[in-house]
Structures are given as C-alpha cells and as structure tokens.
C-alpha cells in the first residue's frame, strides 16, 4: 500500500514558494486525502472503466448492481466468473464487458501487479495501466491522486482542474498538457495539493 504524504509539509512548501496559493491553503487546509488500501485498487480502477461517458448516478447504480453479483470488494476472479449475459442483464454494454474481462484477466495473469505500485513511479504506473483497454488518462490520473495519494499529480485530462487553472492564472484559453506542466512547475513537488485546493474552490462557487 502507498503511504499518505504529510500534507502539512506541502502546505508549508507552498506558503514559502508559491505565496499566490496562500489564500487557498488558509481556507481549505488541511487536506484530508488518504491513500486507499491495496485491496481497493482493482475496484477503484474498475469503477473508472464502468463510469466512462456515463452520468454519475447511472454509473453508481451499475456499480451497485455489479457488487450485488460479485460481492465487495470486487476481485478479478469474481469478474471473470460472471457471464456476458449476467453483465448485460444489469445494463452493461458489450464493449464495457470486454474491458472488464480484459482488465480482470491482466490482473489475474500478473501482467498488472498492483502490489508493486508502492515502489513504482507515477509514470511507470501510468504506462502499465494504459495498456488496459478502457483505462484512459483521466481515470489513471484520478487513481494516482485520489487512490494512491501521490503528491505531485497534474490531472491534465480533468476539465474542472483545467478550468480553475485557467481562471486562477488568467490564461486566454483552457490549457493543454504542455502548458499545464509549464505553469504548474513552480508548485512541484506538491501539485496534487494545489489540484485539491482548486477543486475545493470550484465547489464553493
């Protein structure tokens, strides 16, 4: 399991090195994010596959129905035991069924070894997970930030973060990956903390 960073160290760093962020630290600290246990990794990523291109309430209903068939936490073995007909009956389409099977098989075969994530870099984890059909950049970035609590994740595929960043830095348009990496460089190695603060600011509006 990955360790939760000491977010107070990040707050101190941002106050000293990025005073423009001090109002966010003052208002929203302390950050409550905690690394999730290893047993949850599979179901977190599986939820990401299920929820793609679906409203949150629909994906939540699908997940609850799936847990009714597999039990909690959802395991690769439980996914592989179910038939296509059982998946179709709860409302999943053929493409997502194929994605679920593929992901579960990759974990069961050891091609994706989540027990090694704690010793892998963010880029190593991202590269490995991108080999799984149905796992996109946004899902992986959210997993790194919210699941593993990696301290320096910049979710360049997240619209809310990009919109907040654009407004905060007075950028002429929504920033793309290259621009995001450039303008957030001064906040390294605590960019996850800044992302979380910007999310809180978005929620306040």
Residue 1 counted as domain residue? no
At a CB cut-off of 8 Å and minimum separation 6, what does 57 contact?
Answer: none
Whether residue 120 is contained in a domain is answered as yes
Q: Are residues 66 and 110 in the same domain?
A: yes
Tell me, what CATH number does 78's domain have? 1.10.340.30
Give me the tens of pLDDT residue by residue for the chain, a chain 205 residues long.
689 999 999 999 999 999 999 999 999 999 999 999 999 999 999 999 999 888 989 999 999 999 999 998 899 999 999 999 999 999 999 999 999 999 999 999 999 999 999 999 999 999 999 999 999 999 999 999 999 999 999 999 999 999 999 999 999 999 999 999 999 999 999 999 999 999 999 999 7
Q: How far apart are CA 19 and CA 61, in angstroms?
A: 43
Domain match, 112 and 194 both:
no
Classify residue 53 as left (phi > 0), alpha (psi -120 to 50) or beta. Answer: left
Number of domains composing the chain: 2
Same domain? For 46 and 80 the reply is yes
99 shares a domain with 52: yes
Do 67 and 126 have their domain in common?
yes
What tokens were used for 64?
Answer: 């609850």
pTM to 2 decimals? 0.94
Regarding whether 125 and 83 lie in a shared domain, the answer is yes
Q: Determine, yes or no, domain membership for 89.
A: yes
Q: Any residues with CB less than 8 A from the CB of 96 and at least 6 apart, and which?
A: 49, 50, 52, 87, 134
Q: Is there a single domain that holds both residue 50 and residue 136? A: yes
Q: Which long-range contacts (CB under 8 A, 24 or more apart) does 59-66 make?
A: 61/91, 62/90, 62/91, 62/92, 65/90, 65/91, 66/90, 66/92
* Helical (H) or strand (E) element with 23: helix 22-28
Q: Are 82 and 52 found together in one domain?
A: yes
Residues 99 and 76 occupy one common structural domain: yes
Burial of 163 (0-12, 13-18, 19+ CB in 10 A): middle
Task: Say yes or no: 30 and 45 in one domain.
Answer: no
Count other C-beta atoms under 10 Å from residue 88's C-beta: 12
Q: How far is CA 201 from the centre of its chain?
A: 19
Of 147, 164, 191, which closes a domain?
A: 147
List the structure tokens of 136. 């996109």
Domain that holds residue 74: 38-147
Q: What is the CATH number of the domain that holds 174?
A: 1.10.1670.40
30 and 42 within one domain: no
Q: Is residue 2 part of a domain?
A: no
Residue 169 lies inside a defined structural domain of this protein = yes
User: How high is the pLDDT of residue 1?
Assistant: 66
Are the CB atoms for 99 and 133 separated by under 8 Å?
A: yes
46 and 140 assigned to the same domain: yes
């Amino acid at each position: 399991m990955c360790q939760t960073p000491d977010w107070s160290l990040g707050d101190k760093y941002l106050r000293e090195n990025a005073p423009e962020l001090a109002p966010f630290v003052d208002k929203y600290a302390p950050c409550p994010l905690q690394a999730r246990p290893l047993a949850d990794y599979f179901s977190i990523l599986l939820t990401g596959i299920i929820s793609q291109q679906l409203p949150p309430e629909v994906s939540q209903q699908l997940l609850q129905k799936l847990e009714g068939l597999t039990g909690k936490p959802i395991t690769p073995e439980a996914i592989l035991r179910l038939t296509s007909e059982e998946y179709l009956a709860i409302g999943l389409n053929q493409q997502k069924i194929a994605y679920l099977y593929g992901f579960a098989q990759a974990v069961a075969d050891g091609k994706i070894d989540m027990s090694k994530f704690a010793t892998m870099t963010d880029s190593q984890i991202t590269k490995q997970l991108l080999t799984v059909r149905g796992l996109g950049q946004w899902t992986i970035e959210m997993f790194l930030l919210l699941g593993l609590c990696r301290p320096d994740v910049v979710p360049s595929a997240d619209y809310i973060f990009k919109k907040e960043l654009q407004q905060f830095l007075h950028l002429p348009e929504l920033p793309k990956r290259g621009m995001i990496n450039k303008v957030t460089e001064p906040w390294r190695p605590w960019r996850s903390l800044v992302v979380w603060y910007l999310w809180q600011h978005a929620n306040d509006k």
